[in-house]
Amino acid sequence: MKNSAESLWESCLLFIKDNISEQSYKTWFLPIKPIKLNGKVLNIQVPSKFFYEWIEEHYIKLLKSAISKELGENAKLVYSIVMENTYDNHTPYTVKIPSSNRPPIKNPNLSIPIEIAANGLKNPFIIPGLKKVNINSQLNPNYSFENFIEGDCNRLARSAGYAVGNNPGGTSFNPLLIYGGVGLGKTHLSHAIGIEIKDKHPDKTVLYVSAEKFTQQFIDSIRNNTRNDFVHFYQMIDVLVIDDVQFFAGKEKTQDVFFHIFNHLHQQGKQLVLTSDRAPVDLQGMEQRLLSRFKWGLSADLQIPNLQTRISILKKKLYSDGIEMQKEVIEYLAYSITTNIRELEGALISILAQSSLNKRDINLSLAKEMIDRFVKNTKREVSIDFIQKVVCDYFDLSLELLNSTTRKRRIVQARQLAMFFSKKLTKSSLANIGNQCGGKDHATVLHACKTVNNLVDTDKQFRSYVDEISKKLELQQL
Ligand code: ADP
Ligand code: MG
C-alpha cells in the first residue's frame, strides 16, 4: 500500500507536470522521492545538493503551490539531500534542510499582487506605505552588464545600452529598441540597462515590465475602474523598460494607453527601453503612430553569437557558478549548439544535472550523449565555425591564431584549408567566409581555394591534409 507521503507526492506531481515542460519535469521532478509526511511537513529526498539548489532557485514557487494545494497554506517542505560520503564509500547519508522561505526575487516575471499605496493611488507595483523612490524595479541582479558577454553579435545593442545606462534620457537613443530572435539576450540586456541606471543614478525610478504584464494590469485597471491610477503610475517612472512589445500587436486599447504614456515620458526627457522579437518593420498589427515613435531613437539587433562568443558565454556561466569543466567539453557544447544562448545554457544545465544525478564525471562522452539527446534528428549542418574547429584541432592551433594575420606557412595553410572547406561544404558567400575567417576579403578566400586546388595536385603531404580533414569533418558530422 502507498503511504501518505507517496500519494500526496503523486498529486503534487500531477499538478507540477501540468505547469512545466516535459523535459524539466523529467529532469528535476521524477528523481525526487517522497520520504515522509508528518502533519503538514512533507519531506522529500533529492539526489544532490545541486538539485536542491536548483529547485529552490527555479521551482520553489511551483512546488509550494502544489503542496499548499494539497495540505493548505501553512504546509512546510523539508529536503533530504543524498550526500556523497567522502571518507569511506559505504552508504551515502542524507542531510535535512528546510525549504527556505526567501521570496523568489530572481525571477523577474513573478507577478506582484496589486497593493494600495499610501497616497491612495492604486498601482500595480508600489509597496504600501513607501514613496515613489521605493518602487520595486523588478530587475534581476544576475542580468547585469558584467554577466553580459560582448561579441560581434551584440556590439551595437550593448554599447547603446551602456550609453543609456550612463545617461538615461540624455542620449539620442530614446527609445532604445532592442530586437532579435528568442534566447539571444534581449531580456538580459534590458535588465542590465536598468541595473546600470539604478547603480549610477540611484535617484531615478526604474521599472522593468513585460508587455504581457503591462497589458494584464491595464485590463485589470479597466475592470476596477482605476485606469487613471494606472496611467499616473506609469507616467511617474523615469526609466521604463518594456520587454517583448510584439505582444501589443493587435491590442488596440493597450497600444492606445501605451502611446499616451510613451508621449508623456518622452516629452519629459524620460528614458524608454523596448525589446521586440522582430524588427519594427515586421511588427504587424502595430499602429503606425507607435511604430513611428519607435523610430525616433535607435533600433539595434542581437544576432546569433559566433563560436568564440559562445565559448566565452559558457566559460562565464561556469565561472560564476563555480564549476570547472574541461576545455574540450566546453568547446564541444559551443560548436554543437548554434541556435541561441538559452539552448546553450539548457544543454549545459542538463549535463550538470546528469552528472550530479548519476554521479558521473563531466567529460566529452557525457557531453556527446546529452547533446545527441538534445539535438537529436536534426542533422547538424556543417558551419564555418565547425570547420575552423576541426582544422584547428588537426593542426593543433588556437582559433585566434588561425584567424590572425600571421604569415607563417603552417598557419597560412591551415587558414586556406578552413576557407577551402567552408566554400565546399557551406552555402556561405566568399565575402562571408572571409569575414568569419578573421575579417579577410572575398579575393583572399578565392585565392585560398585556388591555392588548395593547386597544392592537392602537386604536393603529396598537402593532399594528405585534405584527405584527413575531410574524413574528420564527415565523421564528426554523423
Ligand atoms: P531573449 O529575451 O532574447 O529571449 P534572454 O535575455 O532571456 O533572451 O537570454 C537567454 C539566456 O541567455 C539568459 O540566461 C541570458 O543570461 C543568456 N545570455 C544572452 N545573451 C548573453 C550574453 N551576451 N552573455 C551572457 N549570457 C547571455
Ligand atoms: Mg525575453
**Highest mean pLDDT (candidates 14-28, 129-143, 164-178):** 164-178
Least confident among 54-58, 153-157, 167-171, 174-178: 54-58
- Could you tell me how many residues make up the chain? 478
Ligand in closest contact with the CA of 106: 1
Same domain, yes or no: 198 and 245:
yes
The ligand 1 atom nearest the CA atom of 151: 23
Is pLDDT of 305 > 70?
yes
Same domain, yes or no: 296 and 315:
no
Residues with CB under 6 A from ligand 1: 143, 147-149, 154, 180, 182-188, 313, 341-342, 345
Domain stops at, among 340, 374, 408 = 374
Tell me, yes or no, whether 122 lies in a domain: no
The pLDDT tens digits of the residues spanning 224-266 come to 999 999 999 999 999 999 999 999 999 999 999 999 999 999 9
Say how many domains are in the chain: 4
Same domain, yes or no: 180 and 232:
yes
Domain stops at, among 355, 374, 393 = 374
For the domain that residue 448 is a member of, what is the CATH number? 1.10.1750.10
208 and 194 Cβ atoms separated by less than 8 Å: yes
Is pLDDT of 129 > 50?
no
The ligand 1 atom nearest the CA atom of 344: 12
Same domain, yes or no: 357 and 282:
no
Substitution site in 57, 188, 190, 311 for ligand 1 pocket (most atoms within 8 Å of beta carbon): 188
- What phi, psi does 301 have (nearest 5°)? -105, 160
Ligand in closest contact with the CA of 179: 1
Same domain, yes or no: 147 and 246:
yes
Same domain, yes or no: 214 and 149:
yes
Same domain, yes or no: 369 and 426:
no
The ligand 1 atom nearest the CA atom of 154: 23
Tell me, yes or no, whether 329 lies in a domain: yes
- Residue with the smallest CA separation from ligand 1 atom 5 is 185
Is pLDDT of 112 > 70?
no
Reduced to 3 states (helix: H, G, I; strand: E, B; else coil), residue 384 is helix
Same domain, yes or no: 274 and 316:
no
Q: Which residue has the higher pLDDT, 21 or 208?
A: 208
pLDDT of residue 116: 28
pTM: 0.64
Q: How far does residue 187's CA lie from ligand 2's centre (Å)?
A: 4
Same domain, yes or no: 266 and 162:
yes
Average pLDDT score, the chain: 85
Domain stops at, among 285, 302, 319 = 302
Query: Which residue range is the domain that position 412 belongs to?
Result: 384-475
Same domain, yes or no: 223 and 267:
yes
> CA 190 → CA 155, 157, 195, 207, 214, distances in Å?
14, 10, 9, 11, 16
The pLDDT tens digits of the residues spanning 47-66 come to 777 778 778 878 888 998 89
Hey, how many other C-beta atoms are within 10 angstroms of the C-beta on 104?
14
Reduced to 3 states (helix: H, G, I; strand: E, B; else coil), residue 160 is helix
Is pLDDT of 72 > 80?
yes
265 vs 267: CA distance, rounded Å: 5
Tell me, yes or no, whether 292 lies in a domain: yes
Tell me, yes or no, whether 219 lies in a domain: yes
For the domain that residue 52 is a member of, what is the CATH number? 3.30.300.180
Q: How far does residue 342's CA lie from ligand 2's centre (Å)?
A: 10
- Residue with the smallest CA separation from ligand 1 atom 14 is 342
413 and 465 Cβ atoms separated by less than 8 Å: yes
pLDDT of residue 95: 57
pLDDT of residue 339: 86
Average pLDDT over residues 353-379: 77
For the domain that residue 368 is a member of, what is the CATH number? 1.10.8.60
Reduced to 3 states (helix: H, G, I; strand: E, B; else coil), residue 273 is strand
Average pLDDT over residues 445-466: 93
